[in-house]
Amino acid sequence: DENMMLQFQITLYGDDERLLMARDITRLHRLEQMRRDFVANVSHELRTPLTVLTGYLETYSDLSTMLPERLARGIDQMQGQTQRMQNLVNDLLLLSRLENDQGGSDHVRLDPHSLLQAVQRDALALSSDRQQIEISVEDPHALWGSEKEVHSALSNLAFNAVRYAGDGATIQLRWRSCQGGACFEVEDDGEGIDPRHIPRLTERFYRVDKGRSTATGGTGLGLAIVKHVLLRHNAHLDISSRPGEGAIFRCVFPPQRLVDAAANDEHLRR
Ligand code: ADP
């Protein structure tokens, strides 16, 4: 059966004994695919009604000076909530696309400096005057990857730093050598994260403080998106934090993802 999925596990016992286990995970795999399809379909179906609602609310909001104050306030609230729903639907769609297709077709040589500049611009748009966002490039290599995906992963990390590190925080965005390869690092000097939460942060909708995250406008999917983007680049996310002193989020890329900053793309593709 070509749809059958088997999982093999070999365990060593002493010097000369091996135990081979085969597990039939066909059903599990099928259920997982059904879950993915369901989420993708629902998100897709929600897009049209949301667009219609947003359109009407915009029209009413333009007329708000002519409306009684209570009504105008209600419209304002509705606009905020539909925006939240739209962000959620967009992130769910992005996540199912990242899970469902292989990726790789849009990989090019990425210049770390321009990438960090673009992320810095995004983050500045969201930050307060009392927050500082600095960038530095310390590794000479360029990265082979998808501009759209890597940009969105780094923006998610930078947005989180802006939102959770608080007013007056300094946020540093770096490209530097690490763990035999190179990494993008987003460091903040905010409150940090209790280590017991760290292993679960990339789960969908996992939040340390539910109320606070909702108030800051997050969808709860940011780090799940980062994790999937990195998986598609043979990379991983490394989170460390000392509570009270801030957090560091590292996107670690292996050496085979690094290219000569001045190399010729055509040559690399072959
Ligand atoms: P969201 O921010 O929308 O809740 P994310 O997946 O982006 O969802 O983040 C998950 C949780 O990780 C956040 O709710 C927050 O509790 C925690 N977190 C993320 N980044 C930071 C940070 N820089 N400092 C402190 N906590 C953070």
Residue 241 Cβ contacting ligand 1 at under 6 Å: no
Assess whether pLDDT exceeds 60 at residue 251.
yes
Assess whether pLDDT exceeds 60 at residue 269.
no
Q: Which residues of 113-127 are buried (b: 16+ CB within 10 A; e: fewer)?
A: eebbeebbebbeeeb
266 confidence band (pLDDT: 50, 70, 90): low
Distance 13 CA to ligand 1 centre (A): 43
Residue 254 Cβ contacting ligand 1 at under 6 Å: no
Distance 202 CA to ligand 1 centre (A): 9
Integer Cα distance of 267 and 205 in angstroms:
42
pTM over cut 0.90: no
Distance 232 CA to ligand 1 centre (A): 22
| Strands 17-24 vs 6-13: parallel, antiparallel or unpaired | antiparallel
Q: What's the confidence (pLDDT) of residue 78? A: 95
Distance 98 CA to ligand 1 centre (A): 20
Q: What's the confidence (pLDDT) of residue 264? A: 61
Residue 220 Cβ contacting ligand 1 at under 6 Å: yes
Distance 260 CA to ligand 1 centre (A): 34
Phi, psi angle pair for 230, to nearest 5°? -65, -40
Q: What's the confidence (pLDDT) of residue 77? A: 95
Residue 209 Cβ contacting ligand 1 at under 6 Å: yes
Residue 213 Cβ contacting ligand 1 at under 6 Å: yes
Residue 222 Cβ contacting ligand 1 at under 6 Å: yes
Q: What's the confidence (pLDDT) of residue 270? A: 43
Assess whether pLDDT exceeds 50 at residue 190.
yes
Q: What's the confidence (pLDDT) of residue 3? A: 81
Q: What's the confidence (pLDDT) of residue 101? A: 83
What is the per-residue pLDDT across 1-60, written as a single tens digit (0 to 9) for each? 778 899 999 999 888 899 999 999 999 999 999 999 999 999 999 999 999 999 999 999
Residue 208 Cβ contacting ligand 1 at under 6 Å: yes
Assess whether pLDDT exceeds 90 at residue 64.
no
Assess whether pLDDT exceeds 90 at residue 104.
no
Residue 190 Cβ contacting ligand 1 at under 6 Å: yes
The yes/no answer to whether this complex scores an ipTM above 0.95 is yes
Distance 164 CA to ligand 1 centre (A): 7
Over residues 121-148, the mean pLDDT reads 97
